[in-house]
Amino acid sequence: MARKTRSRKPRGMPTVNPHAAAIDIGATMHMAAVGPERDADPVRAFGTFTGDLHRLADWFAKCGVTMVAMESTGVYWIPAYELLEQRGFEVVLVNARDAKHVPGRKTDVSDAQWLQRLHEYDLLRGSFRPTGDIATLRAYLRQRERLLDFAATHIQHMQKALTQMNLQLHHVVSDITGVTGMKIIRALVAGERDPGVLASHRDRRCRASPETIEKALVGNDREEHIFALAQALELYDVCQEKVAACDACIQEALKRLKAKAAKPVGKLPPPRNSTKQPNAFAFDVRAALHAILGVDLTQIHGLGSYLALKLVGECGTDLSAWPSAKHFTSWLCLAPSNKISGGKVLSSKTRRSGSRAAALLRLAAVAVGKTETALGAFQRRLSARIGKAKAITATARKIAVLFYNALRHGMDYADPGASYYEERYRHRVLTNLQRRAKAFGYALHEINGEPEAAVS
């Protein structure tokens, strides 16, 4: 389908990408645009079927296009992006915020032309998108997260069915999906109703006594609630089976990354803690990551093996796309975004972002705030001064810098401790006080180990 359009070429701007094209992505139709000198009809509409995408690629090739820009609209861009990339085109994925059209008429045709013109003059920044095995690993990890979310929903359904029967199992065990809880639930579904027999499934590590568990399992059994419990249990088991299948695929993806890794691998340092994380993998993630990266990311406080793996899946193993740690934290929207006009700072808030990596780093910052480490001391002191939310963002930025330096430069992190941070803070405060006292004609002297001001 061809559309005749008039396009005026701006004067005075040099063309950087003369072989550039652009696509306005839609759910049922893609609007593609090339330079007005490359075709009599420079804007054409194509469907979203695979055959239509091949015809789109053929038209681009006929017009001599080598570079294509498109906006990241939902998930509709993925088939076109992957097919064009397979056909040998250099595809640039653009954030819609960076390619916003000037005020005025807005149509699919004008959007495609505007995007093509920006790309032709190299005014677009491509979004980061991992390629190869990292993209595969990220897809598996995200699918695993979805399955865990589904499993959590079915756990809530099981707990609801138990509560409706007044079986207070969740009050006597810390986790109904633990060893004791699952044995009791499976026995209930199998037809067992005697509280004493159900309580005999108690694991020896359970803190509640058998008598307490037996009292909690005296309830009002009803057929419809048992039915709901059985279905929730079955769906939970299905989710766990699918998670195990994801784990096998993730392990294979890590093996492929290890085969391609060129970094020298030393001895794996001892783990900081031996606590088993919930929803952990069936294989040793920490050792697998160390074999690929050559560094142990879990030595950074706040980063467990699971969280470190998800960060690698989101950012990749090669962070050379960001020239420095400042570029990396700015991409994560964890650094201040200054808005200055007339020499006055209007705002320095961090930008809003849906980055999964930034969310993971904030989770790490929340966890590290409860530890007796330098990062924990930093967060607690900053939280008292500017608030917890801003302190978590600032701590997440520090962890992001450590993550970047570890992957990019092979830095081995060693925590100096909370006392070291507090001593540095005290020394910094005293230095500032001495400088200010000297400016007003005073000097600080220590009395009983504490400085006091005296007139000089």
Please tell me whether residues 381 and 429 are part of one structural domain: no
Decide if 129 is inside a domain.
Answer: no
Boundary (domain end) residue, out of 73, 89, 120: 120
Please tell me whether residues 276 and 403 are part of one structural domain: yes
- State the total domains in the chain: 4
3-state secondary structure of 329: helix
CA 157, CA 340: separation in Å to the nearest integer? 52
Decide if 263 is inside a domain.
Answer: no
Please tell me whether residues 405 and 426 are part of one structural domain: no
Q: What is the per-residue pLDDT across 244-289, written as a single tens digit (0 to 9) for each? A: 999 999 999 999 998 887 666 678 888 877 777 778 888 889 999 9
Please tell me whether residues 298 and 356 are part of one structural domain: yes
Please tell me whether residues 94 and 214 are part of one structural domain: no
Reference 93, options 132, 124, 118; nearest CA is: 124
CB of 94 within 8 A of CB of 72? yes
What is the H or E stretch that residue 190 is in? helix 179-190
For the entire predicted model, the pTM comes to 0.83
CA 445, CA 433: separation in Å to the nearest integer? 11
Q: What is the reported pLDDT for 456? A: 45
Q: What is the per-residue pLDDT across 382-410, written as a single tens digit (0 to 9) for each? A: 898 889 999 999 999 999 999 999 999 88
More confident residue, 338 or 177: 177
Q: What is the per-residue pLDDT across 279-325, written as a single tens digit (0 to 9) for each? A: 888 888 999 999 898 888 998 998 989 999 999 999 998 898 899 99
The two structure tokens encoding residue 212: 């307490």
Decide if 126 is inside a domain.
Answer: no
List the domain range (segments joined by +) for residue 6: 2-120
Q: Are strands 29-33 and 90-94 parallel, antiparallel or unpaired?
A: unpaired
pLDDT-derived band at 103, boundaries 50, 70, 90 = low
Q: What is the per-residue pLDDT across 18-73, written as a single tens digit (0 to 9) for each? A: 899 999 999 999 999 999 889 889 999 999 999 999 999 999 999 999 999 998 88
More confident residue, 262 or 128: 128
